[in-house]
Amino acid sequence: MSRSGRYAVLALSMILGVVSAPAFAADADLTEIRKQIDILNQRRLEDANRIRDLEERLAKAEAATRQATADAQRAATVAAQASNAPPPAPPSSPNAFNPAISGVLDGKLGSFSKDPATYSLAGFPLGGEGPGQRGLFLGEAELNAQANIDDLFMGSLTFSLGQNGSETEVGLEEAYILTLSLPGGFQATAGKFLSDIGYLNSFHEHADDFADRPLSYRAFLAGGVKDVGARLTWLAPTSTYLRFGAEVMRGEVFPAAGAVHDGFGSKSAYVRAGDDIGQEISYQAGLSWLWTAAGARETGALPDVFDGKTDVGIAHLVVKWAPNGNPVNRNFKFQAELLRNHIDGRFNGLGVARTDYGAYGQLLYQFMPQWRVGYRYDWVSAGDVPGTLALSTLDAQSHDGTRSTAMLEYDHSEFSRIRLQYSYDRSRLLGADHQFLLQYTATIGAHPAHSY
């Protein structure tokens, strides 16, 4: 090769080296970045598992402390009685004068192709609200105060605030005491509370996965049963979660009315079971039954009047999945309930006995942190009525109510949420209703945690 040719090859080699060097460096940088991301993800998973372990240890330690305090108090009382000395005062709770106080704000923007003010659910007298309002409106706001009263009791007080036109309505949502240290896995509740029947009923509506309750809850339970009464539960000492409960309530709220039977107008019983399947899947299943009696229960504007008995049976199943048991980035939830409603009595003075059915199923998927999508299908079917009640509120005219709902949700944090929801609603007798709801929910303060 000539001297000029060798110079040309040397120059070309230098140029290629200069060009390829940044590429090799870039590849090395990308590899290092990916390695660091993998390390951080692994550390985050380890931290999440460590936090979960610490929370479990804390719960066990607090339970042991409460039991030890109770044992010491009982021993001191026995000793004082033996010596004819006055018993010591019970220890005060550290937060007895510093309760956890919180508020929940719920606002909505509604758009409906049919007037929600004329809403009716085919075949069912409604004891609660319909699908919402057109334009901007407020849902139910909530104020809650909760604290341990002493080593034996915890107390909770919740007020609801709603807007009715220009008027503000204040209601008592819950007001109850709860035992903390009954032996043998028993726990008692007394006051006004959300019944534990079914799955959704025990949740406040702002904690739901959709902006409104299923049609079956609207038809059979007026959205949810909350009444004055007493509840006793027993947590079985088994390796799997197994809980039994029974309630006696006054019977003032739908489907009951009038506090009949000397103020013992509603009763319920239920059982719940749950467990983990491996590290990533958990489930809860349950059976519930509610027995109620109504004396001159009024519904609707006319109004319609019902005297008689209603009982509601509910079966539910909830399944949750999260990769490696860590729901922070991705998780999946399936939830379904089947309801059976039986009425026997007199409707507007005419005898009626029939059985209705309803159900819903929903899927929720958090596909990345802060974002979830969901789909729900629900259905109700009213039983037949005698000819004397044809064309009355109870006559569904062979129409089953159905609704399909899609939802997109953004949770900026555990304290704020924005949700967009669309429903194709065929629960009325005539035609479909296209329903859009834009909802925001904000929590102020230390709101009590919700159950599984």
pLDDT digits (tens, 9 = 90+) for 42-79: 666 566 556 666 666 666 666 666 665 555 555 554 44
Q: Phi, psi at residue 146, to the nearest 5°?
A: -145, 140
The contacts of residue 381 (CB under 8 Å, 6+ apart) are: 356, 357, 358, 396, 400, 401
Q: Which residue has the higher pLDDT, 171 or 403?
A: 403
For 355-387, what is each residue's pLDDT tens digit?
999 999 999 999 999 999 999 999 999 999 999
Can you give the pLDDT at residue 2?
52
Q: Give whole-number Cα distances, 154 to 5, 89, 151, 289, in Å.
A: 93, 18, 8, 27
> Is the model's pLDDT at 116 over the cut of 70?
yes
Parallel, antiparallel, or unpaired: how do β-strands 433-445 and 226-235 relate? unpaired
Lookup: tokens for 325? 């048991």
- The overall average pLDDT reported for the chain is 86
Provide the token pair at 388: 């004397």
The percent of residues in the chain predicted with pLDDT above 90, rounded, is 70
Q: What is the pLDDT of residue 65?
A: 61
Q: Which two tokens stand for residue 264?
A: 């013992």
- Report d(CA 250, CA 268) in Å as an integer: 12
Q: Number of helices (H) and strands (E) in the chain: give both, helices first.
A: 3, 17
Alpha carbons 341 and 306: distance in angstroms, whole number? 15
Instruction: Please give the Cα distance from 212 to 226 (Å, whole number).
Output: 17
Which pLDDT does position 358 carry in this prediction? 98
Q: What is the pLDDT of residue 104?
A: 94
Rounded average pLDDT over 200-226 = 96
pLDDT at 168: 83
Q: Could you give the CA distance from residue 294 to residue 309 in angstroms, rounded to a whole number?
A: 6
Q: How far apart are CA 205 and CA 208, in angstroms?
A: 5
Check residue 195 and give its pLDDT.
Answer: 97
Region 402-422 average pLDDT: 96
**3-state DSSP helix/strand/coil % of the chain, to nearest 5:** 25, 45, 30
Whole-prediction pTM value? 0.78
For residues 132-139, give the mean pLDDT.
92
Residue at token pair 């899927």: 363
- More confidently predicted of 422 and 54: 422
Residue 218: closest CA among 95, 120, 108: 120
Instruction: Report the pLDDT value the prediction gives residue 23, as an integer from 0 to 100.
Output: 44
Q: CB-side exposure of 280: number of CA atoms within 13 Å?
A: 7
How far lies 329's CA from each of 60, 71, 143, 221, in Å?
28, 43, 31, 35
Three-state DSSP at 84 gives coil
User: Of the given ranges (31-40, 129-138, 262-271, 302-311), which has the lowest mean pLDDT?
Assistant: 31-40
What's the CA dihedral at 343, 120, 254, 154 to 10 degrees? 130
Query: Residue 445: what pLDDT?
Result: 83
Burial 370-380 (b: 16+ CB within 10 A, else e): eebebebebbb
201-216: average pLDDT: 95
Nearest 5°: the CA angle 383, 387, 392 is 70
Using a 10 angstrom Cβ sphere, with 0-12 exposed, 13-18 middle and 19 or more buried, the burial of residue 103 is middle
273, 287 in Cβ contact below 8 A? no
Q: Which two tokens stand for residue 117?
A: 């003010």
Predicted confidence at residue 98, as pLDDT, reads: 73
